[in-house]
Amino acid sequence: MNTKLHVKTGDTVMVLSGKDKGKKGKVLNVNPAAGKVIVEGVSVASRHKKPRRQGETGGIVKQETPIYASKVQLVCPKCGKAARTGVKFLENGSKVKYCKKCNEMLDD
């Protein structure tokens, strides 16, 4: 699988397909080797947790599960919409991402 993804931890993304289509959330974790990301409040599953130590409580815990990174798109902070991103090269030679809808530079 591809080892580089278009999103990173802390980015705000929108889900493009699946049962959570249209939901926005923050990226909590990125797994480039598997091509998956964990997004806050998206793809939530119930896990049955058993108490392991004395005094610890068990029960049913809601937990986010990984989804494919190709199903999410970065949300532009200026226009507030999910947009494709591109890379621009500045005069000093550094690269910066930008929103292809409003042409605004995204801070990395």
Q: In the sheet that 67-68 helps form, which strands lie side by side, from edge to edge?
A: 67-68, 36-39, 24-31, 12-15, 72-74
What is the model's pLDDT at position 50? 93
pLDDT in tens, 40-63: 999 999 999 999 999 989 999 999
Looking at the domain covering 1-75, what would its CATH class be?
Answer: mainly beta
What is the model's pLDDT at position 60? 95
With vertex at residue 6, the alpha carbon angle to CA 69 and CA 28, rounded to the nearest 5 degrees, is 60
What is the model's pLDDT at position 106? 82
What is the model's pLDDT at position 20? 94
| Cα–Cα distance for residue pair 82/13, rounded to 1 Å | 7
pTM given for the model: 0.82
| Cα–Cα distance for residue pair 43/85, rounded to 1 Å | 24
What is the model's pLDDT at position 1? 56
Residue spans per domain, the chain: 1-75, 79-108
What residue ranges of the chain have pLDDT lower than 70? 1-2, 108
